[in-house]
Chain A
Amino acid sequence: MSGQELLFLLSGLKWTLALSAVGFVTGAVFGLLIALLRTSPNAITAKIAEYYIAVFQGTPLLMQLFVVYFGLPLLGLKLDAWIAVAIGFTLHASAYLGEIWRGAIQAVPRGQTEAANALALSYWPRMKDIILPQALRISLPATVGFLVQLIKGTSLAALVGFIELSLAGKFIANQTFRPLIVYSVVGLLYFIICWPLSLYGTRLERKFAATSR
């Protein structure tokens, strides 16, 4: 494999990371909204959020990408591949993060909400200052775990023609006729990104278990 080919793989890696980052950040924003709706005392909004989560957790990510990329143009909405996959991953991540954080919000002891209520704190300060900071801490290991899944999941974007790391790998493999070496390098690149994150997640989990007693 030449230096130029490796460079091409690295530019694919750049798009993998960019898509992961966009999916995670926008997914986190909407995911927080979903988690808040899901835990809200309003039965209707809680139900809507529940269905939203059910739909995106109950269907393959690939189908979701196909619907956005091939389906939306039929409704007159022509999107380029980058925007389409960004929307797809945002929807996907918001549902999963919404569910992870829903669980974390509900795992904050009820006494915290009661103390906040007794102090006359209304919904927003109660959430922002008391519940969410504790929920975030509880959810951190699962959130990092999901980020690892998301990074690996971006390889599905290749199927709608978005050139990220795995599609770049396919191009180089076809060009060089050395799939074993090329895909090994591609795998190694994913591993170098994901493994430290997984380790970090495990460490957080241990730290949390040690301090939550």
Chain B
Amino acid sequence: MTVTLEVAQSSSPTSASVPMIVMEHVEKWYGQFKALSDIDLTVRTGEKIVLCGPSGSGKSTLIRCINHLEAYNKGRITVGGKVLGDDPKIIDAIRREVGMVFQQFNLFPHMTVLQNCTLSPMRTRGLDKKAAEAIARRLLDRVRILDQADKYPAQLSGGQQQRVAIARALCMEPKVMLFDEPTSALDPEMVKEVLDTMISLAEDGMTMICVTHEMGFARQVADRVIFMAAGEIIEEGHPKDFFTAPRHERTRAFLGEILRHH
């Protein structure tokens, strides 16, 4: 009952002052292993956040809880004013507004680039083929890959596939984009084309949460950088402060490790 009430109260949260995502005391367990511990995080509309931390620190788990790819065990997550619970209708409503880009692209290999982009808008947003293709072509053009629209994913390079994956998510016209290590599976020479796409998206005002170790990207676009370790948020700050004067020893150690390789 509380769920329905709260949805009704805040059904039009579009102004910039309204938080897009609120996580309150969120906990996530895998059996005995505590993957997320007392996570408090508020993301304002239009804000760009970079999440970093060593592997196994819970950063991927955190963003995967936001679109319910993982269920959380305790606390509360609110996305666009809707409280994320177990109700499949609410979950689907939130997923329609939250795009996600994966490390391994996860394009549908049996469909062309264009079909990858039009499937969900046609199935979940009731668009006809013509309308869905118009949107898809516009967004494929935007990620500069329209000329490959009729190819299959396997015919594209990794960087091209990831740009298609970004376009596919954008075709849902989401309010938030989640990036789960989008450049980690790419050959070095393809990282830039994907980051450039993400930067242009950020410049257009998209609300973004990016799990990434690309610190150049973090410096350039992040409003806040958040450092996680062992399922907890250890430190967060504006990139300028975060990189020049990290407060915690673990953050310093991590940054030392990361920046040495760049």
Determine if A115 is an interface residue (Cβ-Cβ < 8 Å). yes
Contact of A120 among B109, B154, B172 (CB under 8 A): B172
Further contacts, 14 of them, CB under 8 A, given A115-B102, A118-B169, A119-B169: A109-B106, A111-B102, A112-B106, A114-B106, A118-B69, A119-B120, A119-B124, A120-B92, A120-B95, A120-B172, A122-B124, A130-B108, A134-B110, A211-B154
Q: Which residues of A contact B168 (CB under 8 A)?
A: 119
Closest to A119 in B: B120
Contact of A117 among B69, B99, B169, B172 (CB under 8 A): B69
Q: Are B120 and A121 in contact (CB under 8 A)?
A: yes
Determine if B96 is an interface residue (Cβ-Cβ < 8 Å). yes
Q: Which residues of A contact B95 (CB under 8 A)?
A: 117-120
Q: Which residues of B contact A (CB under 8 A)?
A: 67-69, 88, 92, 95-96, 98-100, 102, 104, 106-110, 119-120, 123-124, 154, 168-169, 172
Closest to B97 in A: A120
Closest to A110 in B: B106
Q: Are A115 and B108 in contact (CB under 8 A)?
A: yes
Render A100-120 as a binary contact track against B, CB cut-off 8 A, 1 for contact: 000000000101101101111
Q: Which residues of A contact B (CB under 8 A)?
A: 109, 111-112, 114-115, 117-122, 125, 129-130, 133-134, 137, 211
Tell me the minimal C-beta distance from A61 to chain B in angstroms: 34
Q: Which residues of B contact A137 (CB under 8 A)?
A: 110
Q: Which residues of A contact B107 (CB under 8 A)?
A: 115
Contact of B69 among A112, A114, A122 (CB under 8 A): A114
Closest to B98 in A: A118
Measured in the bound complex, the distance between the Cα atoms of B249 and A203 in whole Å is 59
Tell me the minimal C-beta distance from B229 to chain A in angstroms: 25
Q: Which of B92, B95, B102 has the most CB of A within 10 A?
A: B95
In the assembled complex, 28 residue pairs joining A and B whose CB atoms fall closer than 8 Å, in A order, are A109-B106, A111-B106, A112-B106, A114-B69, A114-B106, A115-B106, A117-B68, A117-B69, A118-B67, A118-B95, A118-B98, A118-B99, A118-B102, A118-B169, A119-B95, A119-B124, A120-B95, A120-B96, A121-B120, A121-B123, A121-B124, A122-B92, A122-B124, A125-B119, A125-B123, A130-B108, A134-B110, A137-B110
Q: Which residues of B contact A133 (CB under 8 A)?
A: 110
Q: Which residues of A contact B102 (CB under 8 A)?
A: 111, 114-115, 118
Q: Are A134 and B123 in contact (CB under 8 A)?
A: no
Q: Which of A120, A122, A134 has the most CB of B within 10 A?
A: A120
Q: Are B100 and A118 in contact (CB under 8 A)?
A: yes
Q: Are A129 and B119 in contact (CB under 8 A)?
A: yes
Q: Which residues of B contact A125 (CB under 8 A)?
A: 119, 123-124
Q: How many inter-chain contacts with C-beta < 8 Å in the A-B complex?
A: 59
Q: Which residues of A contact B104 (CB under 8 A)?
A: 111
Measured in the bound complex, the distance between the Cα atoms of B123 and A119 in whole Å is 10
Measured in the bound complex, the distance between the Cα atoms of B99 and A137 in whole Å is 28
Closest to B95 in A: A120
Tell me the minimal C-beta distance from A207 to chain B in angstroms: 14
Measured in the bound complex, the distance between the Cα atoms of B108 and A130 in whole Å is 7
Closest to B107 in A: A115
Tell me the minimal C-beta distance from B201 to chain A in angstroms: 17
Q: Which residues of A contact B69 (CB under 8 A)?
A: 114, 117-118
Q: Which residues of A contact B172 (CB under 8 A)?
A: 119-120
Q: Which residues of B contact A129 (CB under 8 A)?
A: 108, 119, 123
Measured in the bound complex, the distance between the Cα atoms of B161 and A76 in whole Å is 62
Tell me the minimal C-beta distance from B148 to chain A in angstroms: 19
Q: Which residues of B contact A122 (CB under 8 A)?
A: 88, 92, 124
Given A111-B106, A134-B109, CB of A120 within 8 Å of CB of B124: yes
Q: Are A112 and B108 in contact (CB under 8 A)?
A: yes
Q: Which residues of B contact A114 (CB under 8 A)?
A: 69, 102, 106
Please list the 3 inter-chain residue pairs (A to B) with the smallest Cβ-Cβ separation, ordered nearest first.
Answer: A115-B106, A120-B95, A119-B120
Closest to A114 in B: B69
Measured in the bound complex, the distance between the Cα atoms of B93 and A120 in whole Å is 8
Measured in the bound complex, the distance between the Cα atoms of B124 and A211 in whole Å is 31
Q: Are A121 and B106 in contact (CB under 8 A)?
A: no
Q: Are A120 and B120 in contact (CB under 8 A)?
A: yes
Closest to A129 in B: B119
Closest to A134 in B: B110
Tell me the minimal C-beta distance from A213 to chain B in angstroms: 10
